Structure 1
Amino acid sequence: MSTLTVEPVEEKVDVLDRKEVQRGRTPTNKEYFMKFVCAAMSNMTASGVSNPQDIIKVRQQLRTQIPGAKHNAFWAVGAEMIRTEGPLSLMKGFTASMIREIVYSGLRLGAYEFFKDKLYAASKGALTREGITLKVLAATCSASIGSALANPADVIKVRMQAHYPNGSPYRNTRHAFATVFREGMNSSAAKGFPVLGGFRALWRGVEATTVRGVVLTISQVCSYDQIKQVLRGHGIMQEGMPLHLTASLFAGLFCSITSNPVDVVKVRLMTDKNRQLHGVMHCVKTILVNEGPMAFYKGFSMCWGRLGTHTIVSFLTFEKLRQLFGIDPM
C-alpha cells in the first residue's frame, strides 16, 4: 500500500525557485548595470557610516611605535583626534572615499556576478556555480579591475586621512588631486616626462591596492556568497534579512583577517611622499626589520570594526536595493 505525501506549498515554491536559478538565466545588460548601481550605492552608504573607523585605522597603521603600545589603541587615537583636530576630523577624506566606492566597490561587487556568468558560460559548465573556484575567479577579475581604476581616489583618501603635525596641506579633494599630481611631475621618478610622473604618483601603490582588493573581495564576497549558498541549500535558513546578516557577519571577519597586512603596506606606500620605500617588497622588508611581523596587524581591531560594519551595511543595503529594483538576491 503506497503512502501519499503532501509537501507544503512553501517548500514547493522554494524548490521551483532553486530549479529556476540552476537553469542559469543570463541577466540582461540592464540588470548587470543595475547591479553595479546597487553595489556602488550600498558601499557608499557603508563607507559613510564607517569613515571614522577608517581614518583611525589609517592613523594607527602609520604609527611606528612598538606593536601593542597602549597609546596606539584605537580609542586613544580617536580621542586624540577629537581633542586636537576637532570632531569633524573623523570625516576627513569623505569625498575621496565616496569617489573610490563608486569605482572600486561598484565594480568589485557589482561586476562579480557578471564575471561569474561569463566564466561559467566560457567553461561550458566545467566550473560549477556551486563550486568555490568559479567564485574566486570571478572575484579576482572584478576586484583587479575595480582596484586598479580606483587607485587615484584611494591615494587621495589616505593622504587626506593621514596626520600632519603642522596642519593638512590639502584644502579639499580637488586640491589634493592637483597637489599629488604636481608632486609626481616634479619628482625624480618623472624622468623627463612630467605628465607621466603625475599619473604615476596617483597610481602609487597600485600593486598593493590590487592585491588587497583581490584578497578582500575573495574573502568577503566569495565567503558571503558561499555561506548563503550553504545555509540556504541545507535548509538551515531561508532567503531574507537573517540570512543576509549571518553571512555578512562571517564575511566581515574573514576579510579583516586576510586584508589587514596588505592594507598596512598599501597605506605606507601611498603616504610615502619622499619615496623612501621602493615598492611593495621593500616596504614589507622595512616593516619586518624595523617593527616586527605583528606590525602588519596594526590597526586590526579598528580594521575589523570598520570592515565588519562596512560589510554588514553594504550587503544588507545591496540585497535590499536589489529587491527594490526587482533583481534576484545575490
Structure 2
Amino acid sequence: MVSATASEVPPTTGVKIFSAGVAACLADVITFPLDTAKVRLQIQGESQISSGIRYKGVLGTITTLAKTEGSMKLYSGLPAGIQRQISFASLRIGLYDTVQEYFTSEEGKAPSLGNKIAAGLMTGGVAVFIGQPTEVVKVRLQAQSHLHGLKPRYTGTYNAYRIIATTESLTTLWKGTTPNLLRNIIINCTELVTYDLMKGFFVKNKILADDVPCHLLSALIAGFCTTLLSSPVDVVKTRFINSPAGQYISVPSCAMTMFTKEGPTAFFKGFMPSFLRLGSWNVIMFVCFEQLKRELMKSRQTAGYAT
C-alpha cells in the first residue's frame, strides 16, 4: 500500500500474507470483547426468550456480560476468531497489493482508484468463501448465553463445528455467506482503499511521514468510514447466522422482519462498539502490519548480506 521509499526493498507477497495474518490475530485478541459486545447488542430484541437483562452501551454491555456470565464470556469464540483471521484477513489484506498490481495495465504506473476497488472486491470475495465457517462458529459462540435457562448449544469451538455440520448440515457452516460477502466486500474496499488513499495523501503532501502516526491516523479514518457503510449489512448478517433453522426464510426476510418489528434504527444496533472495535482493530492491525513487513524485509536483507 503506497510505494516504498527508495531505500526500502518492497515486501514479497509471502511477507505481506504472513504479516497480515499475525497483525490481524494480535488485533483480534486485543479487541475481541468489543466484538462480543457488538454481537450481543445486534441480536438484542431478536430472541423470544428474555432473561430480563438489557444491554446498554459498549462499556455497559461488557460490564453486564462480565458480571452475569463471567469475564471469560467476553472471549467466547476467540479460537474461531483467530482461525478466521488466519484464513481470512491474511488473504484479503496480504494479497491486496499483489492483485492491485495485476489490475494495473502498465508496469510502473500507479494503480488507479478503480484498480484499488477491484483488488478490494476480489480479495474480499475470495477470503469470505474460505473463512465463512469460522465466522458462523464465532458468532454463535459469542451470541449463546446460559441465562435463558437453556443448555448452551455448544461447549466449545470444535464442538460447534461438529454439531452444526452433523445436526444441521455441512452447508450451514456457510450460512449467511451472501450478507457476509456483501459486508466484507464493503469492508474490504472501504477499509483498504480508504487506508491506501489517506496514507498516500498524507505522505504525498508531506503532512506526515510514512511512519506510525501516518499509519495510525489513516487506519482510524478507514475504520470510521468502514463502520458507517457496513453496519446495516453486519447486523443482518449477525442475526441471520445466529438464527435457528426456520426463523428466517432468507436474508431479505431477516432484513424485512427487523425493519417492520424494530424500525430502521435496528440496522445500526451496536454501531458504537462496532466502530470502537473496527477502529481500534484497524489501528492495531495496520500499524503492526506495516512495522512487521519492514522488520521482516530488513531481516531478509541482513541474512542476504551475511551469506
TM range (shorter): 0.7 to 0.9
Correspondence for 1:276 among 228, 247, 250? 247
Note closer, same or farther for the CA distance 1:274–1:230 as it changes in structure 2 (3 Å cut).
Answer: same
Note closer, same or farther for the CA distance 1:128–1:279 as it changes in structure 2 (3 Å cut).
Answer: farther
Shift of 1:172: 1.3
Shift of 1:199: 2.3
For 1:169 and 1:38, locate their aligned partners in 2 and report how far apart those are by CA, in whole Å. 35
Correspondence for 2:101 among 117, 120, 125? 117
For 2:68 and 2:271, locate their aligned partners in 1 and report how far apart those are by CA, in whole Å. 24
User: 2:24 corresponds to which letter in structure 1?
Assistant: N
Correspondence for 1:35 among 6, 10, 16? 16
Correspondence for 1:182 among 132, 146, 166? 166
Q: What does 1:107-146 align with in structure 2 at a 5 Å threshold?
A: 107-120=91-104, 123-124=105-106, 129-146=110-127
Q: Which runs of 5+ in 1 are unaligned?
A: 1-14, 185-197
Correspondence for 1:83 among 56, 62, 67? 67
For 1:231 and 1:75, locate their aligned partners in 2 and report how far apart those are by CA, in whole Å. 33
TM-score (norm 1): 0.82
* 127-136 or 170-179, which deviates more: 127-136
Q: Which runs of 5+ in 2 are unaligned?
A: 47-52, 299-307
Residues 87, 127 of structure 2: 8 Å contact kept: yes
| Equivalent position of 2:192 in the other structure | 221
Correspondence for 1:266 among 231, 237, 245? 237
Residues 183, 234 of structure 2: 8 Å contact kept: yes
Shift of 1:317: 0.5
| Equivalent position of 2:131 in the other structure | 150
For 1:167 and 1:86, locate their aligned partners in 2 and report how far apart those are by CA, in whole Å. 16
**Secondary structure of residue in 2 paired with 1:326:** helix
For 1:17 and 1:86, locate their aligned partners in 2 and report how far apart those are by CA, in whole Å. 49
Shift of 1:226: 0.6
Residues 186, 230 of structure 2: 8 Å contact kept: yes
Q: Deviations along 1:223-255, whole A, 9 cap, x unmatched?
A: 001101111111211111111111111111111
User: 1:110 corresponds to which letter in structure 2?
Assistant: G
Correspondence for 2:270 among 281, 299, 324? 299
Structure with larger Rg: 1
TM-score (norm 2): 0.88
For 1:102 and 1:279, locate their aligned partners in 2 and report how far apart those are by CA, in whole Å. 29
Q: Deviations along 1:209-235, whole A, 9 cap, x unmatched?
A: 111111001111110011011111112
Residues 100, 154 of structure 1: 8 Å contact kept: yes
User: 2:197 corresponds to which letter in structure 1?
Assistant: Q
Q: Deviations along 1:283-306, whole A, 9 cap, x unmatched?
A: 111111111111110000100111
For 1:208 and 1:34, locate their aligned partners in 2 and report how far apart those are by CA, in whole Å. 31
User: 2:57 corresponds to which letter in structure 1?
Assistant: A
What is the count of residue pairs matched by the alignment? 287
Q: Deviations along 1:165-195, whole A, 9 cap, x unmatched?
A: 23422111110000111122xxxxxxxxxxx
Note closer, same or farther for the CA distance 1:102–1:82 as it changes in structure 2 (3 Å cut).
Answer: same
